[in-house]
Chains A and B, each alone.
Chain A
Amino acid sequence: MTIEEIENEIVEEFEMFDDWMQKYEYLIDLGKSLPIIDEQYKTDNTLIKGCQSRVWMHSELKAGNVIYTADSDAIITKGMVALMIRVLSNHTPDEIMNAKLNFVEKIGLTQHLSPTRSNGLLSMIKQMKLDALAYKQIS
């Protein structure tokens, strides 16, 4: 699936929710799903400093695609992180760099990407794209 197709799939999933409670319960469930980063990569080097919740992010290149793994100490942030990984992971550096990530607005969670939210998510997306750029330059 292309990045856009995955984004559309997520938007459709969220359209089934009637209210904010269901939406957040879904995010929380995503957040509770198994650790999404290998413990060895959960270090200060991979820590993205948001003011409040912390995000760890690791990436590697496999067969021309970037694979991301990440974690957060806050569960709602972790749910958002899981969504971002589902959208961006396993694509080529070019595809990742060009991703618009419009789905966040469509599912009504833009507030989580505002700089004042200080949950590390915005910095994480920036870091994901920077990593993609770095892989592109190596290859």
Chain B
Amino acid sequence: MIESKNITEVQLDIEKIRADFPILSRKVNGKPLIYFDNGATAQKPKSVIDAIGNYYSNQNANIHRGVHTLSQEITVAYENARSTIQKHLNAEHAHEIIFTKGTTDSINLVASSFGKKFIFQGDEILVSAMEHHSNILPWQQVCEERGAILKVIPINKEGELIISEYKRLLTDKTKIVALTHISNTLGTINPIEELIALAHVKNIPVLVDGAQAVPHTNVNVQLISADFYVFSGHKLFGPTGVGVLYGKEKWLTEIPPYQVGGGTIKTVTFEKTEYADLPLKFEAGTPHIEGGIGLAAAIDYVNKIGLNNIAAYENELLVYATEALGKINGVKIIGTAKEKASVISFIVDGLHPFDIGTILDQLGIAVRTGHHCTQPLMQFYGIQGTVRASFAFYNTKEEIDLFINGLERAIKMLN
């Protein structure tokens, strides 16, 4: 709620926070970097970088395999990382946390394994009109393989899900709902608890794409009662190549393994394999060990600042930038939901987002331009793409001022 939200002026020591992120002191095209592409990936604090360095300098060994000290130490560290994630999400069990390569990988896992077990000819899978391609394509593929039908919850012009339509689309045929918690393109925060509750009335499980939510809000998977909740480490100030699938024990037990191989078994003969218990059932091969450790370091870092503080501060940035953009002639914000995270997409009359992004880049300002992997959403708005600025807690109002100046300059140059 941009206007009416009760903004507490948050007391965060931004200068001190910025000093934790080495990359923020570099220059781009001769100008101090202004990094407004946090929705694509977030920068990493020193503690995360150090955790990864320390792993290779002092801890490297394979996990779950050796009796030797190094192997045991790193196995404990890796399992501690899992517990850190469990506590952060308030999951009931540590074995409900599966390490994956990222959001996309997690969704593919669920789509494939859930699909094999529960989706049949004529069944329906429900997604929304604002989903990232990563939360569309895996489901589309399951539909093709299983003869099921993909249904889409429409949105209004503001970029909010139309709840009455959602209710109408939840039928006896619906086998699973896959929804984003926060839209990477529009910034819309979906009322996820309510949406899940509505599906649960009909006993339909819900997968939540939390890629954009975990960097901005506290997520309590038991409170919202998500059946599956997925996110990427790299958008949460952690390493790339690692992500999380949270799944309720009941579901993870019922669905079959996804990839199989070393690490996923109890006993193997050439005739038959008995698979390991959770979580190893879903973790084939040597995992991204330093990724898991780095992700736990990132979560510790974020929790030291406090996600409530982060959300409040980022909302100040959002309000500030929204007001400033609103004053520029020809700028139209795409995505004006009442509940929004610090993601602003906009277009400028007569100008191509690519051109604006190119000029801003010359000024050291990193924004994203294009369709943001949400082409169906672009089709809904009848546009080719947008310019997107997405803020993290290390961004400042001074940076927004420079961005607005840069944008005005770009508009002048391009007109």
Do chains A and B interact in one complex? yes
Seen from chain A, the residues whose Cβ lies within 8 Å of a Cβ on chain B are 20-21, 24-25, 28, 51-54, 73-77, 118-119
Contacts of A51 in B (CB 8 A): 370-371
Contact assessment for A28 and B385 in the assembled complex, using a CB-CB cutoff below 8 Å: no
Where the two chains meet, the residues of B that have a C-beta atom closer than 8 Å to any C-beta of A are 29, 351-355, 358-359, 362, 369-371, 384-385, 413-414
Across the interface, do B370 and A28 meet the contact criterion of CB distance under 8 Å? Answer: no
Expressed in whole angstroms, the Cα–Cα distance for A21 and B409 within the complex equals: 10
A53 lies within 8 A of B29 (CB) = no
Q: List 18 A-B contacts (CB under 8 A).
A: A20-B29, A21-B362, A24-B359, A24-B413, A25-B413, A28-B355, A28-B413, A51-B370, A51-B371, A52-B354, A53-B352, A53-B354, A75-B414, A76-B354, A76-B358, A77-B354, A77-B355, A118-B370
Knowing A20-B29, A52-B370, A52-B385 are in contact, say whether A74-B352 is a contact too (CB < 8 A): yes
Least distance between B310 CB and chain A CB atoms (Å): 30
Take A51-B370, A52-B369 as given contacts and tell me if A24 and B362 are in contact as well, using a CB distance cutoff of 8 Å: yes
Docked pose: A73 CA to B414 CA in angstroms: 13
Tally of A-B Cβ pairs under 8 angstroms: 40
Complex-state Cα separation, A53 to B355, whole angstroms: 9
Per the bound structure, the CA–CA distance linking A73 and B358 in Å amounts to: 14
Question: How far in angstroms is the closest Cβ of chain A from B373?
Answer: 10
Q: Are A74 and B29 in contact (CB under 8 A)?
A: no
- Say yes or no: B352 contacts A75, CB within 8 Å: yes
A24-B359, A51-B370, A73-B384 known; 7 new pairs, CB 8 Å cut-off, are A25-B413, A28-B355, A28-B414, A52-B353, A52-B354, A53-B355, A74-B355
Q: Which residues of B contact A54 (CB under 8 A)?
A: 384
Distance in Å: Cβ of A22 to nearest Cβ of chain B: 11
In the complex, what residues of A have CB within 8 A of residue B384's CB?
54, 73
Q: Which residue of A lies closest to B362 (CB)?
A: A20
Contact B354 A74 (CB under 8 A): yes
Closest chain B CB from A124 CB (angstroms): 14
Which of B29, B353, B355, B413 has the most chain A CB atoms closer than 10 A to its own CB? Answer: B355
Report the separation of the CA atoms of residues A20 and B360 in the bound assembly, to the nearest whole angstrom.
Answer: 12
A53 CA to B353 CA in the complex, in Å?
A: 9
Chain A positions within 8 Å of B413 at CB level: 21, 24-25, 28
A81 to B: closest C-beta gap in Å:
13
Docked-complex contact B354 and A119, CB < 8 angstroms? yes
**Docked complex Cα distance between A53 and B351 (Å):** 11
Cα–Cα, bound, A118→B358 (Å) = 12
Q: Please, how many angstroms separate the alpha-carbon atoms of A76 and B413 in the complex?
A: 11
A63 to B355 Cα, complex, angstroms: 37
Within the assembled complex, what's the spacing in Å between the Cα atoms of A76 and B359?
A: 9
Question: In the complex, which residues of chain A have a beta carbon less than 8 angstroms from the beta carbon of B355?
Answer: 28, 53, 74-77
Nearest residue, chain A, Cβ from B409 = A21
Q: How far is the CA of A25 from the CA of B415 in the complex (A)?
A: 10
- Cβ contacts under 8 Å, B370 to chain A: 51-52, 118
- Does the CB pair A73–B352 fall under 8 Å? yes
Q: How close is B407's CB to chain A, nearest CB, in angstroms?
A: 15
Query: Which A residues touch B352, using CB under 8 A?
Result: 53, 73-75
Q: How far does the alpha carbon of A37 sit from the alpha carbon of B353 in the complex, in Å?
A: 22
